[in-house]
Structure 1
Amino acid sequence: MIFILLAICALFPLSNGAAELLKNPDFESTSFSGNWVCNGCTLSSSTDSFHGNRSGKVTNRANAGIGLGQTVTVSPGHTYVFSARVKLLNMAPGYMFHNVQLRIKETVNGHNKHVNVSSNPKTRRENGWVEVGFDFTVPPSLHQISVYFVIDDMRVNYVVDDASFEELLYDANWKSEANARIASLRKAPITVNFQNLHGSGYTVQIEQTGSKFAFGSVVDAAMIVDSIHHPYQQFFYDNFEWGVLGNALKWPQTEPVQGHPTLDKAVTAVNALRAKGKKVRGHNMFWGTGHTHPRWLKSLNSSEILQAMHTHINDVISRTRGTLEHWDVYNENLHGMYFEEHTGHVNITKEMFYWIHQAERGVKLFLNDYAVASPGSVTTAYKKQALMMKNAGVPIYGIGIQCHTNAHLNISVLKYRLDKVAEAGLPIWITEFTVNEPNEVLKANALEDMLTLFMSHPAVEGVLLWGYWDTRIWIHDSALASGHDVTPNEAGRRYLQLYHDTWRTNETIHVTGNYVYTSGFKGDYTLRLKRNGHSVRTQHFTLNDGGKHVNVVLP
């Protein structure tokens, strides 16, 4: 964890050198003339501060849709980032949480348009000062915007401090810088020491057989074991090292009828993947949005739901123990609160982590959510949640980010969002990645750029695609391969080049002395020493952060 934090600080400075555009951003001036305004509410100065001596206090709101704000001069087409600290002074009766939103008012030809740009849906008074923020690209022909706070009940009073609004500057050299980081972060030195070599004609082949940085994909549990889908299976086994079952481990699928869990389909698929040497993520134990939980839960009271949750964990872990590397614990919990609302447990996300950790201590536990990387409406809220859990000692290992995007996502914006989440100091996995684009060249270019950014980020440990074959994929135009034979398209060929060649070490070196020095991408290796083309020694080793010294001793 310390390494990750230091790496982020060194490689991703907190300030991008842009000028502060807000007036009185820290509220140290008690005069709000010409800076902050409170339409339909009362703004006063408070000594309850996050930074410095003062903050802005908002009371007497006339309705929930208005609050503190400021108008800022901007440039069309440019991207800006806003951040501030907010503390709720009270909770409205009947609310478990409040949603602290940030909105932008755009005025074009006298007409106002209000855009929600940030959501913080699980904010409570007991959280104290919490960070809120967003990034925003200004539409054409717009030179002023108003940024303002909205909280879902007008009875809630709050204070704001430490605000900032700056331009996010585009880095034209981002890709060369990213490739330099890849070489620094993802590679390590290899030293081979040969003993008892006699004569000449020796070569050593250093072949990487596995990558420390994870490359994977979702798979269909039935198709990955059905022989009729051999091309689908072969593409996966040849080009990915991690798998995740799309639906087969979800609660509605594993227990459609209460008390009758059916995990055979999922367990068969997991075992098939592991038999081929693949690692598997568990997706997901709980999910609380829409109809993502078993329908029969509706007939249960709160204590019965809690008991059913414990039974579900025990049923699943008893069949999967030791076979899964990760679990997504409470999927998309910033977008659904079914289990909070139906059990009355405000901190049930934390409880879920403890329950699963107690059932299987060796598995790594994750949050997993969307609107974090593309779009970015909950980026800051997600970072805040992960940081609070980490600081509370919850057994959370990492942060799962869903990234379903298109070929036009601004790479600087994506980097900013990754940096923001990485401030929590936890490993990041891109758990669901798609680039939805019908133009194969545009898709290939965007895929390469985003994978390069992910690979270059010190907090990111792996990327899993959310499908690859156009016949079995969630978003059709994100496929890497098509047709009966699962033939790679341009984007697929670009991925294969990155996975097999660009970010893979495979070299043959002539041995002219007792030592060979090289470097390679971190992971598993096979070393073959040959003399005049004939193998004389084969060894296996793993290359990690500190490099590897391999001794090759001949009789």
Structure 2
Amino acid sequence: MKKKIQCQWPGLKVSGETNHRAAGSIMAAFALLGLPLGSAVADTSGVSHQVTISNDWSSGYCAALTVTNNNSAAVSGWQIDMDVDGTISSLWNAGWTQDGDVVHVTGSGQYETLKAGESTSQIGFCVNRSSGSDNSGGSSSDDNSSGSSSSGGLAVNGDVEDGLTNWSSTSGDVKRTTQDSHHGAASVLISNRSASWHGITFQPETLSSGKKYDVSVWVKLAPGESDTTLILTGKRTDDSDTSTTNEYTRITTATVSDYEWTELKGTYSQSGTPFQHFIIESDSDSVSYYADDFTVEAAGDADGSGSSTSGDTNKFVGNITTSGSVRSDFSSYWNQITPENEGKWGSVEKTRDVYNWSGIDAVYQYAKSHHIPFKQHTFVWGSQYPSWITSLSASEQAAEIEEWIQDFCTRYPDVDIIDVVNEATPGHAPASFAKSAFGDDWIIKSFKLARKYCPKATLVLNDYNVLSWHTDKFIEMAKPAVQAGVVDAIGLQAHGLEDISTSTLKTNLEKVAALGLPIYISEYDVAETDDQTQLDVFKAQFPLFYNSDAVAGITLWGYVDGKTWRDGTGLIYDDGTQRPAMKWLMNYLGK
């Protein structure tokens, strides 16, 4: 769909027929230059705003919003209007409503009143791009002009504009509805489900054996449904072996809500018996949900396996050592390793200038021999450091910190990832000895030392409670080092999230993503002794992390029952028997 767009700027005018994405690119370019978006709409008198995009990907972006009171007196109840390229998925530390492409932002909380000359520093937002829809609520004569989707590739009527052609269900009631849609006039709604395998089906045109296909569908829960996981599966016709279910290929999963549309997207490889249909299903037996805009595009030759795992296959899912050792079954489950305690400074140099590298040596060699990433945990932390460091002078402390980092990097030159500074948020466990050594910019100086001696490693700023309660405190702490360009990635410990809703996790993850750096979920576990409860939490939370464009990798913090940091987080028993959450996780990862 096209819309009339006119943008005015001092010395620049763009006017005419252009597509929505192009207009968004223009606005994004303005923002990247530090220029305010939405200048054509009047803000509160004397109040200006500036949008700076910090993280931009194909389907969305996150940005910081700086609002400034240029008046000589305080202003309460201010409002600014800004243009966005899509739909707001979250906006924090201010009130907001959206009308088409225009978002109305109002002062609230700490920013309800702006003092004379004051600028905000903690307002930000994330946007889901609308993939060509204009968000204006209008229609165009060239939109939906035929019963088939012009952009769906092999998915005829993927946009549900021609009744239920090619749509059906494995069981449950399916109907075409105009109550909600991702794009166009209608979508498919399934209700009255009573089993997890009851789902919406879609029949594309013929899929050829030995080929792979990019598959996408947009989904949303019916009003009032609680967030849950939806699954996109490819189904071949049944073969002669009734003892297996290898006709089913899980393509991808995602946590879905009733307040926004979510894309299920992945790659399917066809081989074996002829293709039957795609299924949109859920582990929740009774949830009702919508589907719209199904697309299937040829993507080249398959690898012959006929299977596909969900999410990004380059995204590692790792774990830690078990009681100081690497179990023989480690590589069967995990493709990244972190020493739990062996790499902490207090473990390596308990006595000054007397090193015990044996623990790290074993883990490092295991990683290199198995060709998986090795992550060092950690360089500078206000816990488990050698006690002798606190009795030294500031200059001696600085020299010892540098020596520790230099000696590590000399011994392990091919370390992949390093938690350089751990738990530095005020009130957590900041390293007071490092502040004594380097002053207030001790975080930046620690990262500079790590870069000097480990130039090839990804350098991480790691902390806890960021996904639950201390998101803004962490961001405030992290910004100086991030803006100094010394941090490569953010590490988010993920303990204690059992009672945190997926919507809260998603919002806080997006806030951190707005810093513009990749995120590692660095210490994930689910402390539930009840098998079903642990399974339910994994199903709800893990896909949220795994399918996030912002997340580069996930490390679980232990997996053997009775040998993990937190009770109840074990996923297998010592004899190798798997708990239900582990069985689900391995199936989800295609192992």
TM-score by length of 1: 0.56
Q: 2:455 aligns with which of 361, 374, 390?
A: 361
Q: Given residue 390 of structure 1, which amino acid in structure 2 is its aligned partner?
A: V
Q: How does 1:410-489 map to 2 (within 5 A)?
A: 410-482=501-573, 484-489=574-579
Q: Given residue 214 of structure 1, which amino acid in structure 2 is its aligned partner?
A: F
The question of 1:6 aligning with 2:98 is answered no
Cα displacement string for residues 14-59 of structure 1 (whole angstroms, at most 9, x for unaligned residues):
99xxxxxxxxxx89899xxxxxxxxxxxxx954899997xxxxxxx
Q: Given residue 212 of structure 1, which amino acid in structure 2 is its aligned partner?
A: N
| Counterpart position of 1:263 | 357
Q: 2:301 aligns with which of 184, 189, 192?
A: 192
The question of 1:313 aligning with 2:408 is answered no
Q: How far apart, CA to CA, are the structure 2 residues paired with 1:240 and 1:273?
A: 11
Q: 2:589 aligns with which of 499, 515, 532?
A: 499
Q: How far apart, CA to CA, are the structure 2 residues paired with 1:456 and 1:283?
A: 25
Q: How far apart, CA to CA, are the structure 2 residues paired with 1:87 and 1:306?
A: 43
Q: 2:347 aligns with which of 253, 258, 266?
A: 253
Q: How does 1:396-415 map to 2 (within 5 A)?
A: 396-415=487-506
| Counterpart position of 2:482 | 390
- Structure 2 vs 1, CA of residues 207 and 271 (structure 1 numbering), >3 Å: closer, same or farther? farther
| Counterpart position of 1:239 | 333
Q: How far apart, CA to CA, are the structure 1 residues paired with 2:404 and 2:69?
A: 53
- Structure 2 vs 1, CA of residues 185 and 465 (structure 1 numbering), >3 Å: closer, same or farther? farther
Q: How does 1:194-213 map to 2 (within 5 A)?
A: 204-205=304-305, 211-213=313-315
How far is the alpha carbon of 1:471 from its aligned partner?
2.9
Cα displacement string for residues 313-362 of structure 1 (whole angstroms, at most 9, x for unaligned residues):
1111111111x210001110112241354225100100111111011211
CA contact (8 A) 1:261 1:315 kept: no
Cα displacement string for residues 362-390 of structure 1 (whole angstroms, at most 9, x for unaligned residues):
100000000101x322x122233444323
Q: How far apart, CA to CA, are the structure 1 residues paired with 2:481 and 2:112?
A: 19
Cα displacement string for residues 159-213 of structure 1 (whole angstroms, at most 9, x for unaligned residues):
xxxxxxxxxx9985664464864525999975239xxxxxxxxx94467799301
- Structure 2 vs 1, CA of residues 237 and 486 (structure 1 numbering), >3 Å: closer, same or farther? same
- Structure 2 vs 1, CA of residues 320 and 435 (structure 1 numbering), >3 Å: closer, same or farther? same
| Counterpart position of 1:131 | 122
CA contact (8 A) 2:525 2:569 kept: yes
How far is the alpha carbon of 1:413 from its aligned partner?
0.8
Q: Helix, strand or coil: the match of 1:5?
A: strand
Q: 2:469 aligns with which of 373, 376, 389?
A: 376
CA contact (8 A) 2:75 2:114 kept: no
How far is the alpha carbon of 1:416 from its aligned partner?
0.8
| Counterpart position of 1:59 | none
- Structure 2 vs 1, CA of residues 475 and 316 (structure 1 numbering), >3 Å: closer, same or farther? same
- Structure 2 vs 1, CA of residues 318 and 333 (structure 1 numbering), >3 Å: closer, same or farther? same
| Counterpart position of 1:66 | none
Q: Given residue 268 of structure 1, which amino acid in structure 2 is its aligned partner?
A: A
Q: Helix, strand or coil: the match of 1:415?
A: helix
Q: Given residue 183 of structure 1, which amino acid in structure 2 is its aligned partner?
A: K
Q: How far apart, CA to CA, are the structure 2 residues paired with 1:368 and 1:175?
A: 28
| Counterpart position of 2:416 | 325
Cα displacement string for residues 251-288 of structure 1 (whole angstroms, at most 9, x for unaligned residues):
00110111112212211221023212222111101102
CA contact (8 A) 1:470 1:479 kept: yes
- Structure 2 vs 1, CA of residues 361 and 12 (structure 1 numbering), >3 Å: closer, same or farther? closer
| Counterpart position of 1:542 | none
CA contact (8 A) 1:87 1:128 kept: no
CA contact (8 A) 2:69 2:75 kept: no
CA contact (8 A) 1:369 1:401 kept: yes
| Counterpart position of 2:387 | 295
- Structure 2 vs 1, CA of residues 186 and 463 (structure 1 numbering), >3 Å: closer, same or farther? farther
Q: How far apart, CA to CA, are the structure 1 residues paired with 2:119 and 2:400?
A: 33
Q: For structure 2, list consecutive stretches of 5 or more residues without a partner in the other structure.
A: 1-27, 33-52, 81-93, 95-106, 125-222, 231-253, 257-261, 270-296
CA contact (8 A) 1:429 1:460 kept: yes
Q: Helix, strand or coil: the match of 1:390?
A: helix
The question of 1:217 aligning with 2:315 is answered no
CA contact (8 A) 1:215 1:464 kept: yes
Q: Given residue 478 of structure 1, which amino acid in structure 2 is its aligned partner?
A: T
How far is the alpha carbon of 1:407 from its aligned partner?
3.4
Q: Helix, strand or coil: the match of 2:403?
A: helix
Q: Helix, strand or coil: the match of 2:520?
A: strand
Q: Helix, strand or coil: the match of 2:465?
A: strand
How far is the alpha carbon of 1:131 from its aligned partner?
1.9
Q: How far apart, CA to CA, are the structure 2 residues paired with 1:419 and 1:498?
A: 24
Q: How does 1:539-550 map to 2 (within 5 A)?
A: none
- Structure 2 vs 1, CA of residues 14 and 319 (structure 1 numbering), >3 Å: closer, same or farther? closer
Q: Given residue 457 of structure 1, which amino acid in structure 2 is its aligned partner?
A: S
CA contact (8 A) 1:244 1:283 kept: yes
| Counterpart position of 1:283 | 377
- Structure 2 vs 1, CA of residues 259 and 292 (structure 1 numbering), >3 Å: closer, same or farther? same
Q: Given residue 215 of structure 1, which amino acid in structure 2 is its aligned partner?
A: V
Q: For structure 1, list consecutive stretches of 5 or more residues without a partner in the other structure.
A: 16-25, 31-43, 53-69, 71-80, 90-126, 134-168, 194-202, 225-231, 502-555
Q: How far apart, CA to CA, are the structure 2 residues paired with 1:86 and 1:341?
A: 35
Q: How does 1:120-159 map to 2 (within 5 A)?
A: 130-131=121-122
- Structure 2 vs 1, CA of residues 185 and 218 (structure 1 numbering), >3 Å: closer, same or farther? farther
Q: Given residue 387 of structure 2, which amino acid in structure 1 is its aligned partner?
A: R
